[in-house]
Each structure stands twice: as structure tokens, then as C-alpha cells.
A and B are shown apart, each in its own frame.
Chain A
Amino acid sequence: MNQNIFEKLHGEGLLSDESTGKIKSQSAQRDLSVHWELRTILYTGVLLLASGLGILVYKNIDTISHQGVLIFIALISAGGFYYCFKNKLPFSLKKVEAPGSFFDYALLLACLCFIIFIGYWQYQFHMFGDKFGLATFIPMIVLFFSAYCFDHLGILSLAITNLAAWLGIVVTPTKILKANDFNSADIIITGLLLGIGLILAGKLTLIRKIKPHFEWMYTNFGMHIVFISCIAALFHFNAVYFLWFLALLAVAFYFYTEARKKNSLYFLLMLTLYSYTGLSYVVIHFLFSTVREDNMSSAYLVSFYFIGSAAGLILFLVKMNKKLKSA
């Protein structure tokens, strides 16, 4: 059927003889690509090995065999780093391609084993003391170093989650809402500062042209953390919630200009959903606190608000989609 389509177009004079010939020869000899299948196998292997070793060490902590496991972990980590240093292409501030397909996975395995190793030493001997969070600080430094040295976006994302962990926040994508106690003012403020810091880091990356392709990772993490912190603050600091709502709007406006600049509908959708959550909270809060004597009419008003606002946002998104054609 594919062939027919192109032949028909050829017949109508829309495709040149040369192009049709190329298409024909292409579809005649086609190898089946198993690129992603193989990558997935490798990736799952790394995941299994690293988590298996992590559990193994803690389970056998009081037996002799755990030292064997530990040596094994250290060997994998050292071997992985050795392989990466030996094979890596010279450092550059621009994007550096990985020298081989195995490189990225070796580095990932090496870094993970290193983290497990450090974590174990801290657990068993309190090597790094209980102050300053050195046990998360050292892996973080190593992760950031590896991310830049070997140009690995995945390691960078690990480094950022580790930075957050060092500050006491969990930013793993699906756990960010569940695992954090956003009822504590400390966490909210830390989150806000961390998010702003990450956004600034993203900006700096671009301005200074230090690995500019890393910018997206910083900005993405920063955006989610700042928005979530703002909304958490909105819920938590009840007395001055309107100030936090204004802060939320300011952040949303900043990302709106960014989204326009970057032509990114992803950022646009995110800022829309986050500010909508904030706005809805404020509206509901307002309706139920002012019209207290009659809950039923508040419920009506809330329903009207949601129908109207959602319809409005649909129009907004449709309009923005026309303005920013590509993502």
C-alpha cells in the first residue's frame, strides 16, 4: 500500500523520478531496527543490578559476606569509571556525543554503585559524621561532576534530585507530592529557594554557554518545584494566602514569557494547570468563607466558576496553540 501511494504521487507529477526510485530502493532493503529494545534491556539490567546490590548490602549487613558484596560494588563502580575515563571524548563546553552505545550505561552503573557504596559507609561507620549531610553531599558532587565531565543528561537529573535530597526535599517526578511534608514552612521555603536556584542555574547555563543543552533539565525541575512550593504556601500560610497567590501569578507570568520565547507548549500547559489550581483554591476559599450561611449557593457558584473558567482556559490554550506552532 505504501508503494501505491508514492507511485500515485509520482504519476501525478508531484514526486520526481529520482525520489520515487530512492523510496523504492529504501523499502526494498529494510533492516529491522532493534535499537530501543536493546537499550531497554541494558537499562533494565542496570536498574536490576544496582537495586539488587543495594538491597543485598543492607540485608547482609552483619554477616561476613557483606564485605564481599561491598568489594564487588566498589569494583563495579571503579571499573565503570575507568571504562568511561578511558573511552571518553575530550571535554568541551558544547554537547559531546557518547563514544559508544555502552558508554552511557556504564557511567550510570558506576555512579549508582558509587552512591550505594557511600551510603553504606555512612550507615555502618558514620564516616562523614552526622552533620552537614556529607553523605548526600559527596554523591551529589560526584554526580554533578560526572554529568558535566561525561555529558550525561540522565546523571544530571540524578544530581539534581540528589541536590534536593541534600536540602531535604524529594523531587522524584511522581513522588514530589506524596513524599514531602508540604505542611511545614521550612520545606516550602527551601523548595522555593531551590526552584529559583535551579531556574537561575538554567539561565546561567545558557548565558555562559556551559553545556547549553542542560538548560532544559534545570528549568524543568525548577519550574515544577517553584510552582508546587507556591501552591503549598498558598494552602499553608492561610493568613496571607493572597500574597502567595500573587507570587504564583508572578511565577506563571515569568514562565509565560519563557514559553513564548522558547515556543514551548509544554511549559505553557504546566503554567496553566498550576495557576489554575491556585486560582481555584483562592476562588473556593473566597466563596466558602464569605457566603458561609448558605453552603448550597456556594456550591452552585463553584460549579459555575469551574464550567466558566475551564471553558475560558480551553479558548486560551487553543489560541496559544495557534501562536506557538511547534513544541
Chain B
Amino acid sequence: MIAYNKEWLDNLYLHKKLAEARKKNLISIEELKSCEEKYPVCFYMPNFFVRIGLLLLTVVIAIFSFGLIAMMTNVTYSGSFSGLLLFFALISYGTLEFIVHAKYHYKSGADDALIWMTAAFITAAFNLYGDISALQNAIILFSISLYIALRFTNMLMSAIACISLLALVFFSYTRLGEMAKATVPFLIMLISAVIYFIVIAKQFREKLFRYADCLLMSEIACLFCLYAAGNYYVVREGSISMFQLDLKEGQSISSGWLFWPFTAIIPFIYLAIGIKKKNVVLMRSGLILIPAIIFTVRHYYSILPADIAMVIGGILMIAIGYSLIKYLRKPKHWFTDEGNDNAPLNTTKQLESLIIAQTFAQAAIETNSHTEFGGGSAGGGGAGGDF
């Protein structure tokens, strides 16, 4: 099923493990070299930045080829336009298979771009052909993303497959009537949980070890969908926009109280289980979702003005972070504060600094520009539409 050379994929995994072991100084350079020689990887895998460049340029080529052919064939009505899109999807897919098989591309940027172009062309073709219902769209998306995830072990596509599967369930179940509309959040939560437990099952993981990244992404997607389906904000606003409920400001959905516990507790459950089982995915998901609780509560009940809430939250987080770092100075309960990042420290530092410039400079400069500069009125400058 996988388009890439499987032996090389396995060797690539081996190389990764060996490199990690080398970094921790567990094996010698000679050992690393001889292992890598015995198990070669002949994929074309360019550097990360070259990958980005190839991705952008491949998209440029595809879009302008499409424009060129559209101009030449002079298609005007939607039917033939869809045909052209489908034709282009076929060409993209053909090129994709070609560069993977004949040129051994693997995550080279070119194959990434063609994967996404294929999916986008097919989806666009169906949508432009006629009025397509949300359910039909979910089916189309699910089939495409599942196929691509299986064939090209694409992480993001596997997440899209999970989400579109849930959407598929959602749209087909809510057709059954009012009762279904009221219970659909629970069904989505249930199915997310079922997929989650399938995806993390040990036998499954071992059998599909080449899909490790895909399974990980699906795992994360399920955790977030499970929370979203039980989140009060998502359920209330979702019901309003999807089922044309006419709710006034401050009016709750029927049995809305049921969703508050889900909203408030699920992240902490993730966090607690994550800490107890030392499951990084659960732990991080819990941490990321804690702000979601705060935003949801604050959206309906203004307990504190935002600035005071920020100050208190900031102090609390600094205190928690500070005391935990102090506490874990020596590893305790199998937890440690020691860094184990694989990225070279230099790159991490540089990235961190750019994030600081991005997030803080705004606050810093805006407070100052109250008096000095009239502030940049958004001019129409910048790189024009030619890229």
C-alpha cells in the first residue's frame, strides 16, 4: 500500500534511532557509520528549507499550468471546468507517483505539494460541479485523505481523515431528527474515544509501525475532537449555526448544563492521566486545552476583567513554572527538567528569540507608540500578488 520503498523507510527509522543513540554518546561514530552503510537510505530528502522552496515552487508551477490550460481550452461553464480540475488532479497524482517511484522523492517538498494539489483539485472539482451537501463533502474528503494517508504516510492527511470521519458521522446522524440533534455531541465524543483507543492499541501500533506518525496525529486529532464535542461553546454556537436555533444572548441550549462539566474537567483528566502514565501526548493536550476552559467560561460569564485575569493568570503560571523547575531540579517520580531536545541548541535558541520578538515586541512598541509615531496605517504595500 505504501508508495515509498519500504525497506528504505525502515532503514530511515533505524538511522533516526541510531542518531539519537549517537547524540547520547551510547554508540561510537564508527558503529554509526557501519550501520548506516549496511542499511542505506536512498530517498531524495532535501534539507528542510529546500523542502519549503520546492513545495512553493511546485505549487506555482501547478497553478500556472492550470491557468494556461484553462486559457487555452477556454472553458466557461462549470461542467467542463470540473472536468479540467479532475484532469489536473490526475496529472498531479500521476506526477506524484512518478517522482516517488522513479526519482525516489520522500518528503522532498515536491511530493508534499503534489499530495495537497491532488486533494485540492479533486475536492474543488466536485464542489464546482454542482451543489454538494456537507455530508457528501465529508465523504469525499474522508476517502481522499484516508487513501493518501495510507499510501503516502502523510501525517496531516491522517488527522484530516479522522476529522472528516467524525464530520461524516455528524452529518448523517443529525439527519435522523430532533432527538439525534440533541444527542450528537455524545455520539461524536464516543466515536472519538473509540478511534482513540483503536489508534493507541499496542498490537495496532506494532503492526502498523510504518504509520507511527500518522497514528500519532490521529491520536492527537481524536483527543481534541473529543474535547471539542463536549465543549459548551462549540456545542452552543455549533447548534445555533448548524441547526438554525434561535437563541438569545445568555440563553442556554437544552440540557446545556451537561456540557459544563465536560468543558471544565476533560483537560484536567487528560493532564492527570498523562502525568500518571507518563504519556506526553495526553499531558500536552491537557495543557494546551486548559486555556480553552478559560476562554469558554469567560465568553459567557465575565468573572474578572481581562487585564486583571491576565495579571493573576500570569503570576500563577510563573509561580507554578518556577516551583516545578525548583522541585524537579533532581529527577523525581520519573520526571526530570533536563532537556532532551533533538534539535541543536543553537537553532532552538534562535527560534525562541524570534518568538519573543514576535509576541512581546508588539506589546512593548505599542505602549510606546502612543505618543511618538502615528502608528503604521496599513498601507497597500508589501509583496504584491505576483508570488
Contacts and interface: CB of A to CB of B under 8 A. Distances in A.
- Among B47, B306, B377: residue with most chain A CB under 10 A: B47
A15 B110 contact: no
A31 B357 contact: no
Contacts of B364: 112, 115-116, 119, 139, 158, 161-162
Interface in B326-363: 328, 331, 334-341, 346, 349-350, 352-354, 356-363
A55 B379 CA distance: 26
Given A5-B14, A181-B377, A235-B384, A55 B31 contact: no
B386 A281 contact: yes
B53 A273 contact: yes
Contact of A116 (B284, B325, B354, B367): B367
The binding surface of chain A is classed by DSSP as: helix
Nearest to A47: B359
Contacts of B98: none
Interface residues of A, number: 124
Interface string A156-186: 1110111001001011111101111111100
Contacts, number: 332
B2 to A, nearest CB: 18
A277 B386 contact: yes
B381 A183 contact: yes
Interface stretch (A18-26, A85-93, A202-210, A244-252): A18-26
- Among A22, A55, A122: residue with most chain B CB under 10 A: A55
Contacts of B311: 48-49, 52-53, 56
A33 B314 contact: no
A50 B209 contact: no
Interface string A6-47: 100100101110010011001000111111111111101111
Contacts of A306: 60-61, 64
B363 A54 contact: yes
B90 interface: no
B367 A269 contact: no
A313 B120 CA distance: 24
A321 B50 contact: yes
Contact of A55 (B307, B354, B361): B307
Contacts of A265: 47-50
Interface residues of B, number: 102
Contacts of A307: 61, 64-65, 68
Interface string A280-322: 1100100000000000100110111011001101100110110
B29 to A, nearest CB: 11
A158 B357 contact: yes
A263 B284 CA distance: 35
Contact of A303 (B71, B280, B320): B71
Contacts of A51: 310, 363
Contacts of B31: 14-16, 19
Nearest to A266: B49
Contact of B354 (A109, A126, A173): A173
A182 B379 contact: yes
A223 interface: no
A216 B344 CA distance: 15
Contact of A327 (B49, B331, B367): B49
Interface string B48-62: 111011101110110
A32 to B, nearest CB: 5
A273 B387 contact: yes
A37 B209 contact: no
B75 interface: no
Given A34-B335, A153-B353, A300-B71, A12 B38 contact: yes
A186 B8 CA distance: 56
Contacts of A172: 357-358, 361-362, 365
A226 interface: no
Q: Which 4 A-B pairs have the closest CB atoms?
A: A49-B314, A52-B310, A182-B381, A45-B317
26 contacts: A15-B31, A23-B21, A31-B331, A35-B336, A35-B340, A42-B318, A45-B319, A49-B318, A52-B306, A55-B306, A105-B318, A115-B368, A153-B350, A172-B358, A173-B358, A181-B379, A182-B382, A232-B381, A232-B382, A236-B381, A268-B49, A302-B64, A303-B71, A306-B60, A314-B54, A317-B46
